[in-house]
Structure 1
Amino acid sequence: MGLMNGPEFAGGGRCNGQPPIQAIIGETESSATVILSRTTGPFKIPVISHTASCECLSNRKDHPSFFRTISSDYHQSTALVYIVKHFGWSWVGAVNSDNDYGNYGMAIFLNKAQKEGIYVEYSEKFYRTEPEKLKKVIHAIKKSTAKVIVAFVSFIEMGLLIDQLSIQNITGFQIIGVEGWITSRSLFSQNSFHVMGGSLGFALRKINFEGFSDYVIKAFWDTAFPCSLSVGNSSQYAVNCSRYQDLLALKNYNEDVPEQRYSSHVYKAVYAVAHSLHSLLKCKEQEGCEKDLTIQPHQVVEALKKVNFTVMFGDHVWFDNTGAAVAHYEVVNWQQDLDGSFQFKSVGYYDASLPPDLRFMVNTKNIIWAGGQLEKPSSVCSESCPPGTRKAAQKGRPVCCYDCIPCADGEISNKTGVEIVAGSKPESEAEQRRCLKRHTETGSQEETATRWSGDALSKDNLGQLKDEDFHKAEEFVQLMRILYTSTLCVSCEKNATCGQILPILQKLEDHLTVKDEDTIFVASIKEKVWENLSQRYQNDDIQAFLHEATALAP
């Protein structure tokens, strides 16, 4: 193409000429960059993009000469899973642009979310020229129960989506966004903030690029388009500027100038090519560069793989084995100041260069949630089942959607949301949703109460009683009052603990020095115990049983 459109005429059957270009900086959108990279790839012409983040461009077989100063969306999708899991949202909705950027990014998110136990109620996509699909997205949002929406959407599609949410007054949803739109000031308005206020998302880092904004806003326009300085004759002004009218329409469009999130990536791309050419020309300080060298595009590709430098605002520039930069994101929150102005409040970060447990950080205290709320919203399909109930799956829905139904008679659950008794290990997910059988040593009411009162009179405890203890009988009588209550309600089982009651009572009665009424009280207990035993067992059995129990008594 360069030879065909060059200024020289060539005769004969063979064309020779210098390569017209050594590198291309661009494109902006991923889909356009894919086309450009596939076109230039066979010629080994490097393409360096500052914003094309689709993971599809990481395939070195399809895009061997592609580089980018932004990271792959693999990291952004991973970061989305981090933030959803961090806030305990297990039930979300998903919307994406129907293009390379949205489809690949959402596919990675859905795959990773599933592995982390995050369920998606709906996943819808649309393209900017498909109003019917946009209506389908709005319908899915309106009927959904998920209160969190993950929006992996390009800037243009997000504008269309916000318009429809505003028109239909759809509010109360916590929207999680991506770098493609989360810091776009042109999306901010009073109407849009009504539905989008409190949105959270990942943005390219804000850069302090000293002097650049002044140049873009004033010096560049004054130099590139001198007609903008014209004064006096308005007709002459119109003539001078007529050829620039399309470009002048962009003069006040300074979307990224205040924060330089994207312009800094263009800067890095330009300097990456410059450093590559510098190394190929063998430039040396005070000696200059070799002027007669012919540099081929494939040489620039190899040189780009080796660049390693630091730019003036402190960022380190190098490319990994996929041709991408390391992922660094800010977590930003859409907020409104007291004076009514809007801002992207930085509330955290995601840094892929750090160990996994340190990559993600968010300061929850600084977040304003959807609807201006100060408390984090909940987004689950079903709330945790309270103790005494178990999960019953809802037919045709994910396992996180269930009803809570009471445990059957003889079954228990002793934890909220988890129906496994402490100490038990679930064998399967199904077992985690069921109630457990209640285990008892005997099924009788008598054993429960007898054990309750008899534990204090167990063999170990009784063995510690001495004769002098019975001289403190006034205190011991209080215990007997408790025992008396239990004997009025239940009958003694024929066991050693219960059998020891009679010998102990006899010993107590023999040593009792308290009031006569207490002596009568102890005697009545003896009578009641004997009566209960007589009603349940033959006399011979009772005598043998008491003989054994007496031998165990102190």
Structure 2
Amino acid sequence: MGGSELSFGTRALEEEEHMMGPQSDLRTDGVRDVGVSLLSECVILGNSELLALRSEGDVIIGGLFPVHYLVPNSQNTYNSKPQNRPCNGFDDRAFRWMMTMIFALEEINRNPALLPGVTLGYHIMDSCDHIHTSLRALLSLLTHMPSDLFQVRGLVELVKFFGWNWVGTVGTLDDYSRYGIQAFSNQFIQLGGCLAYHLTIPQSPTLGEIGAMADTLQSSNAKVVVVFASEVQLQELFSEFHLLLQGTLGFSFPGVYIPGLREFLLKVRPKAEPGFEFHNMLWEEVFDCRLQFTADPSNINANDFERVIEQYDQHGSKLNTKSRSSTLKTYVGGRMAFKFSAQENTTGSPERPVCTGSEDLSNLQSSYTELSKLLSNLKMVNFTNQFGEKVHFDENGEPVPLYDIINRQKDSNGKIRFVKVGSYHGSVPVDQQLQLNQSKIVWTGGLSQVPVSRCSDPCSPGSRQARRPGEPQCCFDCLPCAEGEISNQTDSTECTKCPEYYWSDKRKVECVAGVDDFLSVYDTMGVILITLALLGVVMTAVITTVFHHFRATPIVRANNSEISFLLLVSLKLCFLCSLPFIGKPSTWTCRLRQAAFGVSFVLCLSCLLVKTIVVLLAFRSTGPGSGAMKLFGPAQQRTLILCTTAPQVCLCAGWLSAAPPYPFRNPTYQASTGKIVVECREPWPAGFYLVLGYIGLLASLCLLLAFLGRKLPDTFNEAKLITFSMIIFCAVWLSFIPAHVSSPGKFTVAVEIFAILASSFGLLLCIFVPKCFIILVRPENNVKKRMIKSPG
């Protein structure tokens, strides 16, 4: 099975015996030969009814033991009373359990101090390890050592302890297996486990059925198998996996050495008398013979008989009295009968409940009442036996579950032995019920590492389970958590979203506080933009100085030098208004930046509009003193600048008063950067677009008027320069809109700063640099006659 591990839950797992069932050949040839030759004259006892051992007493203790394990198939016609056919397959271990019960009862009877005046008897029958036979054998004998539900609970805890969530189950057709697996499956699934498969062993499996089940076990990726069945029912299937049985775990009843039991068992002798049928069967099993009592056994040579007894003592390993589990529980059960009988006598209820088939309905009701009284008395039992174990019953009349967890191992001689590796006690707190010493466990192949049995490998922290459609919940794929989500546990079913302003680390296992991200003055981009803005301010200041120094020259005086100086001031403001965009946004910078930008550019465009109108009117008039120029003199020019700038001022004032921008930590961009962008949020986005739209309106009007005057007959036609500057200005701001919308985080601010600087440099360079070139490099052209080109 490729290293598969098998975990067993069976009715009895014996520490000192092999798991392959009662047919294991533990006898030597010498013993077999002696047994056949010496006992060949014994007679065979007939057996047409179920066998029973009975001893009378004041209190009768019932016993039901699987002395045989094979029940013949009966062909019932239902036309006549079914005939009871003898069972086959003698189980010497069950015989030992039966004899241990008898030993315990006789031990009590021999001691007058234990139960004075009361004699214990017994009525023991063969169940043949079959439910129908058991019910037919003695319906009134209802005994429970703990309920199978305790064993189920212990198995679930064991599987949970080792982290196995993907197991297979194997059972049989009887109620023990059916209900045991059903209870195990329900509890196991509630804990998140899944069943890989379930195999049911037929009553008489064929080689083909065994092979099919073996193929299922081998092909499954489940490394753990939970079994609810007896060893006899499993031996044919697991004979295919004998090597893999090493390392199995199972539950066994704890036990100790029982003084006197060995001597009692070694007194078992075959006899032809009634009541010794089981004794005879034991000898037939041990010595592999058929007893025929044709002669008086007392005539057997004493020396020969002693020699047989000696070999029987030496090789009777099946009568090992240092057993645990069922042998001890049978003995303790017998001792408990004494305690119950003692309490019964002290309460004045010497009657014992008896139910036979001849009783009428009233007697049956009386017997039921007595059984109820028995259950009540059982709940009162509470004592410590001679082995130091506390014995009492729960509310349902069940004894408190106490199991040893044993591990099937091979010793140095290659023999199988069972080693106690832990215990399960059902009456202690839940977290203390299962106790395991993992260092003692030897798994399949002699390994010490706990095997892993999962349908899918565990999902590591930082990922989550993704169920596979149509498969059990234990079968899944592992998907990494999305950005901004974490899982800090193994096998998380979902990822947890980080709180606002927190972000997942690279491994997606921890939420870390987001780092504020903005266009800092220390960023490379911030440094470059600040440098460009200051460069523009310096260039504007230099040009202003040059113009002021040469303010009396024709090129400076042309088109109203006052407007030129005002234009230079507005350009300085345009360069400076880009600086509040750099750095961490605050309340005052958020309010200042857009208002300063809107007013500065409107003032600049208003000056250009006035200069363009002056150029057009100058060349449309017949002379300097014409009426057109008088109508649009310096006062009118100032008024136009004021009138075109005032709407923008009012718009910005209303905008900042009603819905001013404010600093905001925007986590939207964390998915790509893992940082929190600090930006100025616009409660009224329309305000920004109205400001920008008004600037665009003035720029379009300037461009149109300048384009109309581009061919005027002038040596230095300023309309051409304004046209070029407006083309640059409009191109920059038209490209700004899509770039502004698509840029993430702090790059939105960078795009706006770039548009401000680019358009400002365009105006400065196109309008004033050519004039400075003439003033500084070509002063001969800076004369009045050179400034006016004669028409024609």
Q: Distance in 2 between matches of 1:340 and 1:388?
A: 47
Note the 1:145-544 alignment, pairs <5 A.
145-165=221-241, 192=242, 194-216=243-265, 218-221=266-269, 239=295, 252=316, 254=318, 257-277=321-341, 297=354, 298=367, 301=371, 302-303=373-374, 305-306=376-377, 308=381, 309-386=383-460, 391-405=465-479, 415=488, 417-418=491-492, 419-421=494-496, 423=498, 450-451=517-518, 454=520, 483-484=523-524, 495=581, 497-498=583-584, 534-537=753-756
- Deviation digits for residues 85-120 of structure 1 (CA, Å, limit 9, x no counterpart): 111111111111221221121111011101111100
Matched residue, 1:102: 177
Judge conservation of contact 2:257–2:322 (CA < 8 Å) in 1.
no
1:349 partner SS:
strand
Q: Distance in 2 between matches of 1:538 and 1:489?
A: 8
Quote the offset at 1:339 in angstroms.
4.2
Judge conservation of contact 1:125–1:133 (CA < 8 Å) in 2.
no
| Cα distance change, pair 241–63 in 1 and its aligned pair in 2 (3 A) | closer
Amino acid aligned to 1:270: G
- Deviation digits for residues 177-200 of structure 1 (CA, Å, limit 9, x no counterpart): xxxxxxxxxxxxxxx3x2111111
Tell me which moved more, 484-493 or 342-351: 484-493
Judge conservation of contact 1:332–1:346 (CA < 8 Å) in 2.
yes
| Cα distance change, pair 368–47 in 1 and its aligned pair in 2 (3 A) | same
Amino acid aligned to 1:384: P
Q: Distance in 2 between matches of 1:220 and 1:24?
A: 21
Q: Is 1:129 equivalent to 2:177 in the alignment?
A: no
Matched residue, 1:13: none
Quote the offset at 1:46 in angstroms.
11
| Cα distance change, pair 421–305 in 1 and its aligned pair in 2 (3 A) | closer
Tell me which moved more, 365-374 or 107-116: 365-374
Q: Distance in 2 between matches of 1:153 and 1:200?
A: 14
Judge conservation of contact 1:89–1:378 (CA < 8 Å) in 2.
yes
Judge conservation of contact 2:468–2:475 (CA < 8 Å) in 1.
yes
- Deviation digits for residues 13-52 of structure 1 (CA, Å, limit 9, x no counterpart): xxxxx999844222449999xxxxxxxxxxxx99999999
| Cα distance change, pair 414–114 in 1 and its aligned pair in 2 (3 A) | closer
Q: Distance in 2 between matches of 1:49 and 1:424?
A: 71
Larger Rg: 2
Judge conservation of contact 1:390–1:413 (CA < 8 Å) in 2.
no
Identify unmatched segments of 5+ residues in structure 1. 6-17, 33-44, 56-61, 166-191, 229-234, 285-289, 426-434, 442-447, 458-479, 504-529, 543-554
- Deviation digits for residues 133-190 of structure 1 (CA, Å, limit 9, x no counterpart): 544432321221111111112120122222122xxxxxxxxxxxxxxxxxxxxxxxxx
| Cα distance change, pair 65–239 in 1 and its aligned pair in 2 (3 A) | closer
Judge conservation of contact 2:484–2:497 (CA < 8 Å) in 1.
no
| Cα distance change, pair 241–78 in 1 and its aligned pair in 2 (3 A) | farther
Judge conservation of contact 1:54–1:104 (CA < 8 Å) in 2.
no
Normalising by the residue count of structure 2, what TM-score does the alignment of the two structures yield?
0.41
Identify unmatched segments of 5+ residues in structure 2. 1-48, 50-55, 71-120, 132-137, 284-290, 301-310, 355-366, 501-507, 533-577, 590-748, 762-792
2:471 partner SS:
coil
Matched residue, 1:526: none
- Deviation digits for residues 487-538 of structure 1 (CA, Å, limit 9, x no counterpart): 67999997563579xx9xxxxxxxxxxxxxxxxxxxxxxxxxx998741436
| Cα distance change, pair 486–75 in 1 and its aligned pair in 2 (3 A) | farther
**Equivalent in 7, 16, 24 of residue 62 of structure 2:** 24
| Cα distance change, pair 47–393 in 1 and its aligned pair in 2 (3 A) | farther
Quote the offset at 1:382 in angstroms.
1.0
Judge conservation of contact 1:209–1:313 (CA < 8 Å) in 2.
no
1:88 partner SS:
coil
1:270 partner SS:
helix
Amino acid aligned to 2:326: Y
Judge conservation of contact 1:48–1:269 (CA < 8 Å) in 2.
no
| Cα distance change, pair 449–282 in 1 and its aligned pair in 2 (3 A) | closer
Q: Distance in 2 between matches of 1:78 and 1:411?
A: 41
Quote the offset at 1:484 in angstroms.
3.8
Judge conservation of contact 1:128–1:156 (CA < 8 Å) in 2.
no
Q: Distance in 2 between matches of 1:282 and 1:406?
A: 71
Judge conservation of contact 1:198–1:369 (CA < 8 Å) in 2.
yes
Q: Distance in 2 between matches of 1:395 and 1:345?
A: 43
Normalising by the residue count of structure 1, what TM-score does the alignment of the two structures yield?
0.56
Q: Distance in 1 between matches of 2:238 and 2:155?
A: 20
Matched residue, 1:140: 216
Amino acid aligned to 2:267: A
Percent identity of paired positions between Structure 1 and Structure 2:
22
Judge conservation of contact 2:146–2:399 (CA < 8 Å) in 1.
yes
Judge conservation of contact 2:60–2:123 (CA < 8 Å) in 1.
no
Quote the offset at 1:66 in angstroms.
2.2
Judge conservation of contact 2:485–2:498 (CA < 8 Å) in 1.
no
Judge conservation of contact 2:423–2:435 (CA < 8 Å) in 1.
yes
Count of paired positions: 390
Quote the offset at 1:360 in angstroms.
1.1
Judge conservation of contact 1:97–1:127 (CA < 8 Å) in 2.
yes
| Cα distance change, pair 265–382 in 1 and its aligned pair in 2 (3 A) | same
Amino acid aligned to 2:377: K
| Cα distance change, pair 329–21 in 1 and its aligned pair in 2 (3 A) | closer
Amino acid aligned to 1:77: V
Q: Distance in 1 between matches of 2:491 and 2:264?
A: 60
| Cα distance change, pair 111–407 in 1 and its aligned pair in 2 (3 A) | closer
Superposition RMSD in Å: 5.5
Q: Distance in 2 between matches of 1:236 and 1:423?
A: 86
Judge conservation of contact 2:405–2:424 (CA < 8 Å) in 1.
yes
Matched residue, 2:151: 76
Matched residue, 1:189: none
Tell me which moved more, 483-492 or 339-348: 483-492
Judge conservation of contact 1:204–1:328 (CA < 8 Å) in 2.
yes
